[in-house]
Amino acid sequence: MAHLTFGAGIWAFGRIVDRYATDGYGPERSTAGMLELAAQVDGLEYLDINHPFAEEDLAPKTVASMLDGLGLKARAVTPHLYTRRFARGAFTNPDPAVRRAAKDRVHAAVEAAAELGAGYVKFWPGQDGFDMPGQADYPRLWELTVEAIRELAAAHPETRFAIEYKPKEPRVQITLGNAATTLLAIGEAGVDNLGIVLDFGHSLMAGEAPAEALQLVHRHGRLESAELNDNWRGWDDDLPVASVHLFETVEFLLALRRIGWDRPVLLDQFPFREDPVEALSHSIRTIRRLDAACERIDLAALGEAQERQDAVAAQRILWSAI
Amino acid sequence: MAHLTFGAGIWAFGRIVDRYATDGYGPERSTAGMLELAAQVDGLEYLDINHPFAEEDLAPKTVASMLDGLGLKARAVTPHLYTRRFARGAFTNPDPAVRRAAKDRVHAAVEAAAELGAGYVKFWPGQDGFDMPGQADYPRLWELTVEAIRELAAAHPETRFAIEYKPKEPRVQITLGNAATTLLAIGEAGVDNLGIVLDFGHSLMAGEAPAEALQLVHRHGRLESAELNDNWRGWDDDLPVASVHLFETVEFLLALRRIGWDRPVLLDQFPFREDPVEALSHSIRTIRRLDAACERIDLAALGEAQERQDAVAAQRILWSAI
Amino acid sequence: MAHLTFGAGIWAFGRIVDRYATDGYGPERSTAGMLELAAQVDGLEYLDINHPFAEEDLAPKTVASMLDGLGLKARAVTPHLYTRRFARGAFTNPDPAVRRAAKDRVHAAVEAAAELGAGYVKFWPGQDGFDMPGQADYPRLWELTVEAIRELAAAHPETRFAIEYKPKEPRVQITLGNAATTLLAIGEAGVDNLGIVLDFGHSLMAGEAPAEALQLVHRHGRLESAELNDNWRGWDDDLPVASVHLFETVEFLLALRRIGWDRPVLLDQFPFREDPVEALSHSIRTIRRLDAACERIDLAALGEAQERQDAVAAQRILWSAI
Amino acid sequence: MAHLTFGAGIWAFGRIVDRYATDGYGPERSTAGMLELAAQVDGLEYLDINHPFAEEDLAPKTVASMLDGLGLKARAVTPHLYTRRFARGAFTNPDPAVRRAAKDRVHAAVEAAAELGAGYVKFWPGQDGFDMPGQADYPRLWELTVEAIRELAAAHPETRFAIEYKPKEPRVQITLGNAATTLLAIGEAGVDNLGIVLDFGHSLMAGEAPAEALQLVHRHGRLESAELNDNWRGWDDDLPVASVHLFETVEFLLALRRIGWDRPVLLDQFPFREDPVEALSHSIRTIRRLDAACERIDLAALGEAQERQDAVAAQRILWSAI
């Protein structure tokens, strides 16, 4: 792509914890500290920033000027809808007060996004779902989900929203678990300013071919953002780009070219045991290298091989480019 | 359910082969032989019958009278769209002549269904998809799929059609691989006489909660048929009902009750190493037993537990019923 | 079983965090607080206790008298070998100082176990493994693992040790990932006082039939402990017993009976969104109910059905017992 | 590797069937026809040949001279132990007469192997296992398995035998399902002339890192043969080499170099929808290309990165070689 630009989730630069290393995989970092690290990643221009910020009393304006001072921009704001209070669901929480609190978080994120000049507010409803057979009234979860996203998108017609789907984690099964289900929910919500963040790794987890899912979402006019990373298919390992799935990543980049993608490509990594600046710089280098390979692919020949379903010929063309 | 009725895919009674036991898991059987076995299964009334029939020169009328003589009925006709000629796809085959041949098979199946009095013609596009990264032009596969199902359903407005989705096998990845994707394809086709066969085992393979998928399909008014069986989640093992997933099966039966399902429940089993009459009779007994358990479930209490997302209480209610 | 006794990992009663709900799924709890909750679980007698304890200055003696006062006993002590310092491995950490620190933690756990009267010290080497292709020198990881467990077991010949295997989490792939691999490591270590903790859920994750793995470990004389819980096969969801896999749980209980298991059955649950006392009490009730069902199984008939590989007959026998 | 040589399973050149395309994915081919195709694959020298041969009355001598005439050699003979008669198991079949028949097949294969000059006789016990929970007496299956391989290996001390493990298919769960379990069975059999065929794709299915499994088997002195292919992890898709997992394949080749592998690398592919000569030639070209990349890898630098567990540095080194 002519002007490939890059962004990342700010969480890559913060302290990551999990249920075992409860003391964290690295030092605690302030918003300023995370942004400074982000600025050291060669090629990184954009950030997806969680809200509320790491420091409760931090004003969006202050963050905006931090970004500005470092030559960074906000690409998205992601409200924390999956912390303790939302453990049994944000939009689908059994308690109406918690559902309201979730919506309030979104309203606040919309304001922050406006001040930061972010392109979209991301819904990541990772606690909305269920854990065991028998536990869920599925139509009820669905209706609460659709109503919430409709209400929120309708309340802020000037704001772009985007749902990042994922099949599981933290909830054992998440309601908006794959591309098509999310498209159906968006269709039912019936609002225009609502799209999808297609995360490569979540797509692998969902049993999709990410390049296929990307084009399905695009076909419905709902592709708001694209995120890259990698995993071993069974779980959201959030590894560096193409560390496992090289050809699927090439295919994904080819699909982005085909649809004329000109917005940033985001990295959603969790460098548990790696230096975040190194891990993200490596991913950007990898994407650039693979994008250069895409440039070398004989698209006409690839198209012909695909048209006649000659899988070996198609693979040969990819191999000769890398 | 008041009047639970049962059907089965005729293939359960035929010779099954696979890529290793190429000499088959049992004796070759004629259509008459398969139907006679089916008639021995206690409670089995309906069949999903493949077309062309096992004997090429067999007339639908003859099959109709065989069924009649045995007290059986046709529930569905499933054209063979996945045999050798269609190895690189039926609706999406690169060769237009093969795509036409696939449609001709459907036209013939429609005729047979009419003569047999079958409720629907099933599309099972198991060869429509791809095998390796880089091989497929996904939007092209999608368009060919949507066009074919639209054309076929539009050509026979009096006939009901239904797509049975499945994520993989025989194709390594199948285009219509889960419930929501299939709903999107149906929506894009824009025809009314086209629905979905929800196969419990395919739904497990797709990472869905089958009861959730069933209700999503019903919400869209597209539930044409429901099939039961079981597997270990990773593959379509086509085992007897609830041999692995007891609570998911209970949930599925509860969902059928909730939507007022009054059509047959079909069994899609491949009794590779079992006596087919025994294996299917066992499944029907199991469903009846679990349906009786559903009768004992305190639905109000379950609803309350679900409403407050009390998973342990919900499980306790299910346990006390079984 | 005549005298079924129960234990649990103390972590079920503490604050659980994950990488999203970093503020935890419940309130922080002291050791005393956790033990008090444990004492409320009907039928729970034993605990697997992490060391260092929740409070750094807590003496094993104090914990011993807390246990005593509540009518509880220590079944095991599990040293924290998977916290921040050990993120790149405990026994296989690239830094010899960290490897020594891991061993020191084990030595301290041995002392604590002695004071608590615990039956074994558990190795749970969840950070020992790797994340990406190309990263690991596998024979080196193996050798470091074998040397460490040999050295530690040899240093404390009076103490029983047990390894709990798991295929992944927190490390993306864990070296001791299934039953047979762990038996090979134990064999190579060549020490007598080292066995295996067979966790039902880890076994499902590893693609094993848990009852088969249990008997394989027993065959090698290395079964030190057995833990129950449940999951959806792809991940260690740590759900209540038999919430998903009822027949596999029955099979597991039958296997425990067959080998004459007379030690406690432990629960390894993470009740993220449930009341821990409720969630564990429910599991104990479930096990008792299924154990009573085992009592009703006609073992001679089951054995005959198994001997002739009549799967449907075997299932029928199980069904008639539950 | 200095002298990389290649072989393939003869089945790649025959008619493949599955349970849907029961009329096969290609034309029926005679032994002569299959061998002629094999001879057209550039670089292919060795074959793993099923016995009984495609034509019942074909004498091993005749096959030997066919091979000779085409410049091919037999690498292995694989007795058909998984056809109809063995559907409920070969070595573990409930019927002693079938178990004897399975052993007779092995004895015949040993003779054929001698006449063909094959390096080993392969056990592929794909029907030995079970299908549903409750069905199997696991210790009994284990004992029958161990006894059979012991008896057969002991009966032919001059012959090399090798077990190819696989977690599932055709049996729903296979007893010898991963590397470590198979090593334990071999250890218990206590014979020297029995090793393992490590199939890359089966190893992926088993949740292993194939390069790790390879070195574990080598550590035990039991690596008899190595097979390459690829899949999507969940099933044995038998795709061309590195069509999905490039870095794992590189790692595997590096491991083969490290252990000084100087025997052929075999291809186990099922080109359902591809020209077999093309599909296998492509794999050999791919392996050669990746082996040349291995040549360029700075092994000292890679070793250092691995020693300090610097995953990103290790990946960077691999990337710079490809």
* Residue carrying structure tokens 């080499």: D241
Which residues 9-48 in chain C show a CB within 8 A of chain D? none
Which chain A residues are Cβ-neighbours of D312 within 8 angstroms?
Answer: 240, 274-275, 278-279, 282
CB contact under 8 A, B183 and A184: yes
Residues 6+ apart with CB under 8 A from B136: A209, A212, A306, A309, B129, B130
Best of B273, B275, B283 to disrupt the D interface (most D CBs within 10 Å) is: B273
Asked if C143 and C186 touch (Cβ cutoff 8 Å), the reply is no
Query: Within chain A, which residues score under 70 in pLDDT?
Result: 1-2
- The confidence score (pLDDT) of residue C3 equals 78
Token pair 């050990």 in the structure block, residue: C86
CA–CA separation, C108 and B101 (whole Å): 74
- What average pLDDT does chain B have? 97
Q: Which residues lie across from C74 on neighbouring strands?
A: C47
Asked if B180 is an interface residue toward chain C (Cβ–Cβ < 8 A), one would say no
Q: What is the largest CA-CA distance in chain B?
A: 60
* Reported confidence tier of residue B26, pLDDT bands at 50, 70, 90: confident
- Mutation to test the A interface, candidates D312, D319, D322, most A Cβ within 10 Å: D312
How far is Cα B112 from Cα C137, in angstroms, rounded to an integer? 62
User: Do the chains contact at D132 and C302, CB–CB below 8 Å?
Assistant: no
Find which of C181, C247, C307 to mutate to test the D interface (most D CBs within 10 Å of its CB).
C181
Answer whether A170 sits within 8 Å of C21, measured CB to CB: yes
| Cα-only R_g, chain A | 19
pLDDT at D2: 57
The full set of domains in chain B, from first to last, is 6-297 (3.20.20.150)
Radius of gyration, CA atoms only, chain D: 19
C274–B311 CB contact, under 8 Å: yes
D170 preceded by cis ω (within 30°)?
A: yes
Residues of B (129-158) whose Cβ lies below 8 Å from D: 131-133
Contact of B245 with chain C, judged by CB distance below 8 Å, is answered with yes
Chain B contact for A85, CB < 8 A?
no
Residues of B in contact with A190 (CB under 8 A): none
Mean pLDDT of B164-193: 98
Q: What share of chain C in percent tops pLDDT 70?
A: 99
Per-residue pLDDT tens digits for D209-250: 999 999 999 999 999 999 999 999 999 999 999 999 999 999
**Residues in chain A within 8 Å Cβ distance of D319:** 286, 289
C184 touching A, CB under 8 A? no
What would the 3-class secondary structure string for chain D be? Answer: CCCCCEEEEHHHHCCCCCCCCCCCCCCCCCHHHHHHHHHHCCCEEEEEEEECCCCCCCCHHHHHHHHHHHCCEEEEEEECCCCHHHCCCCCCCCCHHHHHHHHHHHHHHHHHHHHHCCCEEEECCCCCEECCCCCCCHHHHHHHHHHHHHHHHHHCCCCCEEEECCCCCCCCEECCCCHHHHHHHHHHHCCCCEEEEEEHHHHHHCCCCHHHHHHHHHHCCCEEEEEECECCCCCCCCECCCCCCHHHHHHHHHHHHHCCCCCCEEECCCCCCCCHHHHHHHHHHHHHHHHHHHHHCCHHHHHHHHHCCCHHHHHHHHHHHC
pLDDT tens for D295-312 read 999 999 999 999 999 999
D19·B18 Cβ contact <8 A: yes
CA distance C312 to C315: 5
- Maximum Cα–Cα distance for chain D, whole Å? 60
- List the chains bordering chain D where 3 or more Cβ pairs fall under 8 Å: A, B, C
> How far is C265 from C97, CA to CA, in rounded Å?
36
Backbone angles phi, psi at C161, to 5 degrees: -120, 155
Q: Tell me: the pLDDT tens digits for B104-159? A: 999 999 999 999 999 999 999 999 999 999 999 999 999 999 999 999 999 999 99
Cross-chain residue pair B132–D18, CB shorter than 8 Å: no
User: Cis omega before residue D210 (within 30°)?
Assistant: no
pLDDT, tens only, C32-55: 999 999 999 999 999 999 999 999
**Percent of chain A clearing pLDDT 70 (strictly above):** 99
Which chains share 3+ C-beta pairs under 8 angstroms with B? A, C, D
Tell me how close the Cα of C56 comes to any Cα of chain A, in angstroms.
14
Is residue D257 very low, low, confident or very high in pLDDT (cuts 50, 70, 90)? very high
* Pairwise CB contact (< 8 Å): D243 & B132: yes
Subunits in contact with chain A (3 or more CB pairs closer than 8 Å): B, C, D
Determine if the peptide bond prior to B52 is cis (ω within 30°): yes
> Cβ–Cβ of C21/A133 closer than 8 Å?
no
Q: Is the pLDDT of residue C322 over 60?
A: yes
- pLDDT tens figures, A22-52: 999 989 999 999 999 999 999 999 999 999 9
Query: Which chain C residue shows the shortest CA-CA distance from D129?
Result: C309
**What does each C-alpha distance from B50 to A89, A270, D316 come to in angstroms?**
45, 50, 54
CA distance C226 to C207: 17
